[in-house]
């Protein structure tokens, strides 16, 4: 199903959007990839949603990507004697491993790994950053702090340690169980939470292998320090702005968004901008003008995809939210300034045959006003490299593997389609012509630019470019 835009939309499924009918409506409204949030719901819930997506995919004949989003470690306080406590600014407050209920003077923090890295002067953030503590003294099982930002603290509120890398794996026991389940049913993308360093990606890769592609969720300040290697190792990255905004000053987040998108573009990795994009539409039928501008900024910045969370999972207007996001993207991509920025920000090709052919394909297509660039790909790498060029026309990603087509549903500008494997280049060209007609991309006499690799089926071996005319 050809969209009237290049950037993709990810919609999270939940109580507002779990039926097969609603999933089909979301796809037709513009959702390209569906997110299964494993912070909520049972395996049975997610299996039902997975099956419904695949049923819609089969009926409509369009590959649909499915992302599983792992919860990651959750650092939380214990409980309070009265359920909550009012902490006053400037007062002392102790955190320790004692599991006795807390009060206005102390609270249990059942995470020895936090005390292991604390140092005097460090900051602790509580309840999504609403409260702030400064560490005065600390040891292996306690921290004496001063309340810098006061408020009411209640049971099981979250704790963030922005000044340190915690000795924690990004994969908890729950994540491992969820991951085994997700890989078994056949998810296409695994979004890895709590990424602090490149080794977290390596650990996940050992388990996932080639069964799914990895999205590194960039939500910790330490991950930004290791950004180059994380982007290199991951298959895609996500700008998780909500969590970044907890541990970093809010004025830093827009700058980091641009930096992460730029780095992902340089490496040819798909990049997603997520969190609070159209949040007011959880309860309202239209977004704020600021939210519309926020979505537009992500598109101007060059993101591959934008993601909806509670807006579609639990909101009152899931279909309308996707439709409005679709309209915003189309409007931006039709703007003259968008095209000027895209040309100005185009990334220089790397010194490889694949990048040389991909860059040439864009230039040739632009010169002869071709209707599409057709990429034959087994793993998706050829389509990724052409998408990195941000051409003005559709990228028709043809692959014999449905798994690859589903992954390409996330990639900017790619219209993925499953085709029989070609035995030679002439068969490839004929297949390209056939699919272009089927997708109504061109008419008789129009031209296509076809790229492929020889020998066939070799990942990253793009080394042929040919112009084909539709007959």
Positions marked catalytic? 35, 76, 217, 275
CA distance 471 to 468: 9
Return the C-alpha torsion angle 307, 309, 311, 316, nearest 10: 140
Q: How far apart are CA 233 and CA 149, in angstroms?
A: 38
- What span, in angstroms and rounded, lies between the C-alpha atoms of 225 and 235? 19
Q: Which of 84, 91, 87, 79 lies closest to 151 in space, CA to CA? A: 87
The HSE-up count of residue 266 (CA atoms within 13 Å, CB side) is 11
Q: Give the distance, in angstroms, between the CA of residue 120 and the centroid of all CA atoms in the same chain.
A: 36
Contact 415, 394 (CB under 8 A): yes
Distance of CA 240 to the CA centre of its chain: 8
Rounded Cα gap, residues 361 and 329, in angstroms: 25
| Count of residues in the chain | 471
What separation in angstroms does the CA of 456 have from each of 379, 384, 399, 451, 463?
Answer: 11, 17, 11, 12, 11
State phi, psi for 33 to the nearest 5 degrees: -135, 145
Query: Cα separation of 239 and 241, whole Å?
Result: 6
Expressed in angstroms, the distance from the first to the final Cα of the chain is 22
Helix ranges (DSSP H) in 61-191: 112-117, 173-185
Nearest C-alpha neighbor of 427 from the set 393, 376, 370? 376
């Amino acid at each position: 199903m050809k969209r009237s835009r290049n950037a993709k939309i990810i919609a999270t499924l939940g109580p507002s959007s779990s039926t097969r009918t609603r999933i089909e409506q979301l796809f037709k409204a513009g959702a390209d990839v569906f997110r299964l949030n494993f912070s909520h719901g049972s395996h049975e819930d997610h299996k039902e949603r997975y099956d419904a997506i695949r049923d819609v995919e089969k009926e409509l004949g369009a590959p649909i990507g499915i992302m599983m989003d792992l919860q990651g470690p959750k650092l939380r306080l214990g409980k309070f004697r009265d359920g909550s406590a009012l902490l006053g600014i400037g007062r002392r407050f102790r955190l320790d491993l004692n599991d006795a209920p807390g009060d206005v003077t102390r609270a249990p923090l059942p995470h020895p790994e936090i005390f292991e890295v604390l140092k005097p002067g460090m900051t602790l953030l509580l309840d999504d950053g609403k409260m702030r503590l400064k560490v005065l003294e600390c040891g292996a099982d306690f921290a004496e702090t001063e309340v810098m930002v006061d408020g009411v603290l209640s049971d099981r509120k979250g704790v963030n340690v922005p000044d340190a890398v915690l000795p924690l794996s990004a994969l908890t026991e729950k994540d491992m169980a969820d991951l085994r389940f997700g890989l078994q049913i056949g998810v296409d993308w695994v979004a890895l939470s709590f990424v602090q360093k490149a080794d977290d990606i390596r650990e996940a890769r050992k388990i996932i292998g080639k069964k799914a592609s990895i999205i590194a969720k960039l939500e910790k300040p330490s991950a930004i320090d290791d950004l180059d290697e994380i982007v290199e190792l991951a298959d895609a990255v996500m700008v998780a702005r909500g969590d970044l905004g907890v541990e970093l000053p809010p004025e830093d987040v827009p700058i980091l968004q641009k930096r992460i998108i730029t780095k992902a573009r340089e490496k040819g990795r798909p990049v997603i901008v997520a969190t609070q994009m159209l949040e007011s539409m959880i309860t309202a039928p239209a977004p704020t003008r600021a939210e519309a501008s926020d979505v537009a900024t992500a598109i101007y910045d060059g993101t591959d995809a934008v993601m909806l969370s509670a807006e579609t999972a639990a909101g009152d207007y899931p279909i309308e939210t996707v439709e409005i996001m679709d309209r915003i993207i189309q409007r931006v991509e039709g703007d003259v300034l968008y095209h000027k920025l895209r040309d100005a920000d185009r990334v220089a090709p790397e010194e490889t045959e694949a990048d040389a052919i991909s860059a040439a394909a864009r230039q040739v297509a632009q010169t002869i006003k071709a209707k599409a660039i057709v990429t034959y790909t087994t793993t998706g790498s050829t389509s990724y490299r052409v998408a990195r060029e941000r051409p003005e026309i559709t990228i028709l990603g043809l692959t014999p593997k449905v798994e690859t087509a589903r992954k390409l549903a996330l990639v900017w500008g790619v219209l993925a389609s499953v085709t029989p494997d070609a035995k030679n280049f002439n068969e490839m060209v004929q297949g390209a012509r056939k699919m272009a007609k089927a997708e109504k991309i061109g008419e008789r006499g129009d031209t296509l630019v076809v790229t492929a690799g020889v020998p066939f089926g070799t990942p990253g071996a793009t080394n042929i470019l040919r112009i084909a005319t539709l007959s």
